[in-house]
Each structure stands twice: as structure tokens, then as C-alpha cells.
Amino acid sequence: MERIQFFSQAAGRTIDVPRHAKARFAIGDVVRHRMFDFRGVIFDIDPVFANSDEWYESIPKELRPKREQPFYHLLAENEESSYVAYVSQQNLLGDADGGPVDHPTVAELFGDFEDGRYRMRRSLTH
């Protein structure tokens, strides 16, 4: 299988990934965590795990996801707060019916919530 490499700031190292990684979700999709009570909008995608080893090892072993799958950066919310989350594909479910996400950064990155998803602001796309 052909592989490529990219440098991850969060991991502080170069990450080796398959050229044709398959992401189930896209930037602007609204998702919900499969096990924990939070939801969010995707603002970035890593084709495989690209965070620090310390972060990965801090996840309890019985809950630790596989590294070889897409990981998503979310503007997340729960009943108490808004925050940024980093979540594996296996732990996400679509949540387009849940309505817009109430996170203070959403308006900086996205336009209106339409048809169950957000569109990235044109000024931020290439």
C-alpha cells in the first residue's frame, strides 16, 4: 500500500499514513460521540492519529481507539461547556438532526447551518 508522510504539530513528529485513507465524515458535519455525552462540528481531519503519544496513552486501555483510522478535530459542546475535542472515527456518529452547535468559534470558521451541516467560510478555503 502506497503511503505518504506529513508533519504533525500536535505530535511533534512526522506521521506515516496510507495514501487513500477513507474519512466517513467531512469538514462541517455535525457529529455526536458514541460513548460520551457531547457533540460538535468537524473543523479538521487527520487521516490517522496525529496527536502526542502522551495524549494517546492517557486514554484508558480498554477505551483506546486504533491509531490507523481518521481522527477528527471538533468544536464540541456538552451541557456544561464548549471546547475542542480530538476524536477517532470509530467513536463518532452523525448528528445532523440535532441542530446547530453552540460553540463560540463556529461563526469564525463556518457560515450558516443549512441542510444539517455547516459550510466553511469561503475566505478560509483554498
- Give the model confidence (pLDDT) of 29-59 as tens digits: 999 999 999 999 999 999 899 999 999 999 9
How is the chain split into domains, by residue range? 3-124
Strands (E) located in 3-88: 3-8, 13-18, 30-33, 39-46, 71-77, 82-88
Task: Evaluate if residue 106 carries a pLDDT over 70.
Answer: yes
Residue 65 DSSP one-character state: P
Helix (H) or strand (E) holding 36: none
Residue 122's pLDDT band, with cuts at 50, 70 and 90, is: confident
CATH match of 3-124 with 2.30.30.390: yes
pTM for this predicted structure: 0.84
